[in-house]
Amino acid sequence: MTSVIDPKAIGKPQRSRRHVRTLTGYLPETDSSGKEKWPRGEEKIWKECSRHLDEDVQSITKSVVNHVQTSLARQAYNIDDLGAYQAAALSVRDNLLVNWNDTQLHYTRKAPKRAYYLSLEFLMGRTLDNALLNLGLKSQYKDGIKELGFSLEDILEQERDAALGNGGLGRLAACYLDSSASQDLPLWGYGLRYKYGIFQQLISPEGNQLEAPDPWLDNQNPWELPRLDVTYDVRFYGHAERIGETGRATWSGGQEVLAVAYDVMIPGCGTKNTNNLRLWESKPKRGFDLNSFNAGNYEGAVESSNSAAAITSVLYPNDHTTFGKELRLKQQYFWTAASLADILRRFKNLGKPISEFPDFVAIQLNDTHPTLAIPELMRILVDEEELRWDKAWEIVTNTFFFTNHTVLPEALEKWPVPLLEHLLPRRVPERHLQIIYDINMQFLQAVEKKFPGDRDRLARMSIIEEGVPKQVRMANLACIGDRKVNGVAELHSELVRTTIMKDFVEFYGVSKFANVTNGITPRRWLDQCNPELSTLISKTLGIDKTVWLKDLTKLEGLLAHTEDKKFRDEWAAIKQRNKERLAHHVQTTLGLTVNTHAMFDVQIKRLHEYKRQTLNILGVIHRYLTLKAMTPEERKKTNPRVVFFAGKAAPAYYIAKLTIRLIVNVARVINDDPDTKNYLSLYFLPDYSVSLAEVLIPASDISQHISTAGTEASGTSNMKFCLNGGLLLGTVDGANIEIAEEVGESNVFFFGHLTPAVEDLRYQHLYHPVPVEEKSPALANVLNQVSAGLFGDGGVYEPLLNTIRQSDYYLITDDFDSYISALNMVDEAYLDKDEWVKKSIRTTAKMGKFSSDRAIMDYAQEYWNIEQTPVPSS
Ligand code: 26W
């Protein structure tokens, strides 16, 4: 038999719609009474055969073995921990799929208003443990896996983190997905499926950070569903031609790239609702160029396909700095265009008029990264839906919401106009840019009307920053095109209103600018990472964990038990075992022995000058010098301390990398000093990740959140430590303030200057500098010892030390003495073990506010106007 291929069909996505029943929003046909109509009356066989998954241990074992033999094509005698992990993951995935399908069908049927969370980063970490806990199947799988001769703990360790994010912003997105499913909210995430996540961090023998790629997809990813039939064309470059006087334009030519959907299932806790995270992969639209290939130009033949695949190849490892790279802008446009097309298609399936779009769709922009969605939706509405500009603008400004995550000026995105001109369609007119200019013109006219003749104000508020080259200010565009703008903690939202958005507040009124304090999911950040504490809490409160995990204010019930000695002993014993678990991890990964009888003091976060890891390491050196100056008898009276650091520096951030080098070399010297090593030791744990955080956080007695006041928008690891009964040492900044409000100031250790003082101090540094020797002799001594080479070649660290000796933008010299006093207060408090445990219990008990469930419900009710849509259990 010869097959005939229609040449026109080559390269075109093939799909048959007749049997597409739920996944992409098509419903089975119904008759007049609403009953499903099955195409050939196959209903009986479909329903009979549809999977019901038994949840007993025997069925689970069977399902895992089945996956070993079929999906993995392996034999029982040929299975290692990795194989066992993969088979278990596939078996759990079967359960997730049933719920996910039911959820998507239910949402389609009910057609509620939906919310979409657009984030360039989703820092998910591992999935298996989380899925087992949310499905309530952990103990059954533990037993089932054991019967097969494996340990669940060991196989969980086989999973690679999905590390599609840099830090706080990406992890927040992951916590919000978990909460959206747990709270039955119809929400989808949209992001990019980077082939390589955040780089792996290696530390060289000299103490330098080295970067290696993170090939997280190499072992197959059981948690994603490739949806090769869900694709969109995304066009770059090319021409746009205006049609007549309507303002419409057509777009042609340029590079066409295919966006392919991969769906990641997001299970809720104690509910059937399983939400979706849709990640886009870029692919060449037409394989390779056959003409070049036939002409013998093999490189030329694959060039355009390589450049298409490059778009989603790697996550940019920068946070808090903008860099204006073309590939990053391409990523942003590719992702927003594909996501909007998909959202629009789902909306259109409802059969509603386009004017009702904002009644069915709310889109949250996670920072400015997806802001191109605003001109893109305008383009679709005006050019394709043929709406009038004003009508389109009304829809846009009722659809989008914008969260700002930082007020640091270097982190506010700006794109050079020539780059946008180059990337998006050119010629008459440059379509997206033209749209941006039109938005800007109308906006500035309104500003001029309200504040006549105020040219400076117009210049500040304009979307376009004058200069060479001109730049597009994405935060201005996001603010103008959105219904609401929010910050992520009370202080930060206030700073947004009074600094970067001040002019906009004066123009729009303050009600457009609000606050949603960040939250964290207690499922991962307590139940999963600290199972013993979770069990003790359930036992003490006398309620099932799914109840308090979904209403975290219930933790307050622990307060009634602080005077119960037996409870306190159990609490302290769990902390001790968590410290031993961390010590075991350090022993097995680095071969180092950690003193588990010391206080564990932890600072883990991205390396950045504003986060002041430098202050911490200088404090450690001060402590070391103090201990060295003591007699052995005096030392014995001190409180032994082990300090942990972990975190990555952006590859091009020289000063942050130098800080890592200093930490590693200080560790080398002090951990080896026989005089002091029993009282002070220091570890830099390489390659910080979500999974490493899950081991570190439950083991901490005290954690450090010591940013210069006014610089850390919120912080979320502060919440994680406190939820696990670790106490907080910090500045009056970000969410630290609200944590202190909840747990009481007597249970936190605050130090340092307050936000209003920061500007004045910086001014003084520049115009009335005082030498470090005068300001803080203790700090001067520390700096001199480093320069003198106590930790190896002192010259290496001069650039870092000079940032402090010279302009000291982050106020290390101003806060050092008060920092040291705070550390001493921590020591003193720790000596009274019983009181310390009480503080620890009180801290956990008062963390209810910081559940991401509270935060997501706040967004749902105050911003998106979406409703809980629980899937009935069948
Ligand atoms: C364009 C480069 C770039 C990339 C990422 C600039 C800025 C960012 C993020 C906004 C940085 C970030 O992760 N911010 C953190 O967001 C967390 C979640 O709201 C907060 O808890 C942290 O305080 C904030 O630093």
C-alpha neighbours within 13 Å on the C-beta side of residue 51: 15
Q: How far is the CA of 169 from the centre of ligand 1 (A)?
A: 5
Q: Return the residue whose CA atom lies nearest to atom 22 of ligand 1.
A: 715
For residue 403, which atom of ligand 1 is closest to its CA? 19
Average pLDDT value for the chain: 93
Ligand 1 atom at minimal distance to the Cα of residue 369: 1
Task: Please identify which of the residues 328, 369, 431, 720 carries the catalytic annotation.
Answer: 720
| pLDDT at site 247 | 63
Question: Rounded to whole angstroms, what are the CA distances from 651 to 167, 198, 608, 657, 810?
Answer: 15, 11, 12, 8, 21
Distance, CA of 185 to CA of 856 (rounded, Å): 9
Is there a catalytic annotation at residue 146? no
How far is ligand 1, taken at its centre, from the CA of residue 121, in Å?
10
Which of 120, 164, 169, 372 for mutating ligand 1's site (highest number of atoms within 8 Å of CB)? 169
What is the CA(152)–ligand 1 centre distance, in A? 35
Distance 318 CA to ligand 1 centre (A): 10
**Tens digits of per-residue pLDDT, 82-109?**
999 999 999 999 999 999 999 999 999 9
- Closest atom of ligand 1 to 328 CA is 1
Read off the DSSP letter of residue 370. Answer: T
Question: CA neighbours within 13 Å on the CB side: how many for 500?
Answer: 27
499 labelled catalytic: no
Query: Residue 11: pLDDT band by 50, 70, 90 thresholds?
Result: very low
15 burial (CB, 10 Å; 0-12 / 13-18 / 19+) is exposed
Residue 713 CA: nearest ligand 1 atom is: 23
Task: Select from 120, 176, 320, 412 the residue to mutate for testing ligand 1; criterion: most ligand atoms less than 8 Å from CB.
Answer: 320
Question: CB under 8 Å to 808, separation ≥6 — which residues?
Answer: 765, 814
* Domain range 575-846, CATH class: alpha beta
> Rounded to whole angstroms, how far apart are CA atoms 107 and 113?
9
Give the rounded percent of residues in the chain with a pLDDT score beyond 90: 85
Smallest Cα–Cα separation from 612: which of 641, 645, 643?
645
Cβ(688)–Cβ(170) below 8 Å? no
Judge whether 611 counts as a catalytic residue. Answer: yes
pLDDT digits (tens, 9 = 90+) for 515-540: 999 999 999 999 999 999 999 999 99
> Distance between CA 793 and CA 791 in Å, rounded?
7
Neighbouring CB atoms inside 10 A of 579's CB total 22
* CATH topology agreement for domains 117-125+161-482 and 575-846: yes
> Cα–Cα–Cα angle for 227, 231, 236, nearest 5°?
145
Whether the per-residue pLDDT at 16 is higher than 50: the answer is: no
Task: Collapse the DSSP code of 13 into the 3-class scheme (helix H, G, I; strand E, B; otherwise coil) and give the result.
Answer: coil
| CB burial string 223-240: b at 16+ within 10 A, e below | bbbeeeebbbebbbebbb
Rounded mean pLDDT, 263-271: 97
Model pLDDT, residue 425: 61
Q: 405: CA distance to ligand 1 center in Å?
A: 5
What number of other Cβ atoms are within 10 A of residue 673's Cβ? 15
Distances (CA, A) of 586 to 360, 582, 594, 598, 678: 50, 6, 7, 15, 17
Q: Whose CA is nearest to atom 12 of ligand 1?
A: 169
List pLDDT tens digits, range 107-133.
999 999 999 999 999 999 999 999 999
Over residues 527-556, the mean pLDDT reads 98
Cα 408 to middle of ligand 1, angstroms: 10
Report which protein residue has its CA nearest ligand 1's atom 4.
319
This prediction has a pTM of 0.95
* Residue position matching structure tokens 């749902």: 860
For 386-410, b where at least 16 C-beta lie within 10 A, e where not — what string?
ebebeebbebbeebbbbbbbbbbee
Please report the atom of ligand 1 found closest to the CA of residue 166: 13
* 321 is known as an active-site residue: no
pLDDT in tens, 178-222: 999 999 999 999 999 999 999 999 999 999 999 999 999 998 899
Q: What is the mean pLDDT of residues 557-582?
A: 98
Q: Give me the helices (H) in 349-453, please.
A: 357-360, 373-379, 389-399, 417-423, 431-450
**What does the pLDDT look like over 602-618, one tens digit per residue?**
999 999 999 999 999 99
Return d(Cα 150, Cα 85) in angstroms, integer: 9
DSSP state of 241: E
Q: Helix, strand, or coil here: 644?
A: strand
| pLDDT score at 421 | 84
Give residue 711 CA to ligand 1 midpoint distance, Å.
11
pLDDT for residue 24 is more than 50: no
Any idea which of 424-428, 483-487, 494-498 has the lowest mean pLDDT?
A: 424-428
Pairing of strands 471-473, 464-465: antiparallel
- pLDDT at residue number 546: 96
Q: Is the pLDDT of residue 722 over 90?
A: yes
- Choose one of 406, 412, 493, 607 to mutate for the ligand 1 pocket test, by most ligand atoms within 8 angstroms of C-beta: 406
Q: Any idea which residue has 């899950």 for tokens?
A: 694
pLDDT band at 296 (very low <50, low <70, confident <90, very high): confident
Give residues (CB < 6 A) around ligand 1.
167-169, 172, 318-322, 367, 405-406, 411, 413, 488, 518, 712-716, 734
pLDDT of 244: 65
| Residue 806 CA, ligand 1 centroid: distance in Å | 27
Residue 390, token pair as written in the block: 């004003």
Q: How far apart are CA 85 and CA 469, in angstroms?
A: 53
More confidently predicted of 319 and 20: 319
Q: How far is the CA of 170 from the centre of ligand 1 (A)?
A: 8
pLDDT of residue 235: 85
- Helix, strand, coil tally for the chain in percent (to 5): 50, 15, 35
Q: How many CB atoms lie within 10 A of CB 635?
A: 18
**So what's the pLDDT on residue 575?**
98
Give the integer Cα–Cα distance in Å for 83 and 44: 37
**Cα 322 to the center of its chain, rounded Å:** 18
Return the structure tokens found at 704.
């450090």
The predicted structure's pLDDT at residue 295? 83
pLDDT for 78: 83
Nearest Cα to Cα of residue 145 among 72, 58, 266, 221: 58
Q: What is the pLDDT of residue 771?
A: 96
Cα-to-centroid distance, 728 and ligand 1 (Å): 21
pLDDT of residue 50: 66
CB distance 358 to 325 below 8 Å: no
Q: In the annotation, is 614 catalytic?
A: no
Domain ranges across the chain: 2-110, 117-125+161-482, 575-846
Give the pLDDT confidence of 648-671 residue by residue, as tens digits.
Answer: 999 999 999 999 999 999 999 999
Spacing, Cα 128 to ligand 1 middle (Å): 27
Looking at residue 226, its pLDDT comes to 97
Lowest pLDDT segment from 211-225, 411-425, 744-758: 411-425
Q: What is the pLDDT of residue 237?
A: 79
Residue 15 pLDDT: 42
User: Taking 50 as the threshold, does the pLDDT of residue 4 lie above it?
Assistant: no
Instruction: Answer whether residue 404 shows pLDDT above 80.
Output: yes
CA of 404 to the centre of ligand 1 (A): 8
- Judge whether 597 counts as a catalytic residue: no
Residue 416: helix, strand or coil by DSSP? strand
Name beta bridge partners: 645. 603, 684
In the set 127, 716, 731, 844, the catalytic residue is 716
Atom of ligand 1 nearest to the CA of 492: 23
Say if residues 188 and 278 touch (Cβ distance below 8 Å).
yes
Q: What's the confidence (pLDDT) of residue 283?
A: 94
Ligand 1 centroid distance, CA of 571 (Å): 34
Query: What are the distances in angstroms from CA 46 to CA 40, 43, 409, 679?
Result: 11, 5, 58, 68
Using CA atoms, how far residue 621 sits from 604, 614, 666, 853, in Å, is: 18, 11, 8, 41
In 254-382 the beta strands, taken as DSSP E runs, fall at 255-267, 274-284, 361-366
Which of these is catalytic: 524, 611, 705, 854? 611
Does residue 248 contact residue 435 with C-beta atoms inside 8 Å?
no
Q: Cα 660 to the chain's mean position, in Å?
A: 23
Confidence of residue 777 (pLDDT cuts 50, 70, 90): very high
Q: Is the pLDDT of residue 501 over 90?
A: yes
Task: Spell out the SS3 assignment of 225-240.
Answer: EEEEEEEEEEEECCEE
DSSP state of 748: E
Find the catalytic residue in 126, 278, 320, 605: 605
* Confidence band for 1, pLDDT divided at 50, 70 and 90: very low
Q: What local confidence, expressed as pLDDT, does residue 77 receive?
A: 80
Token pair listed for 861: 């009710």
Find out whether 89 and 222 touch, Cβ atoms under 8 Å.
yes
CATH hierarchy code of domain 117-125+161-482: 3.40.50.2000
Tell me which of 123, 318, 319 to substitute to probe ligand 1's pocket, judged by most ligand atoms within 8 Å of the beta carbon. Answer: 319
Confidence of residue 54 (pLDDT cuts 50, 70, 90): confident
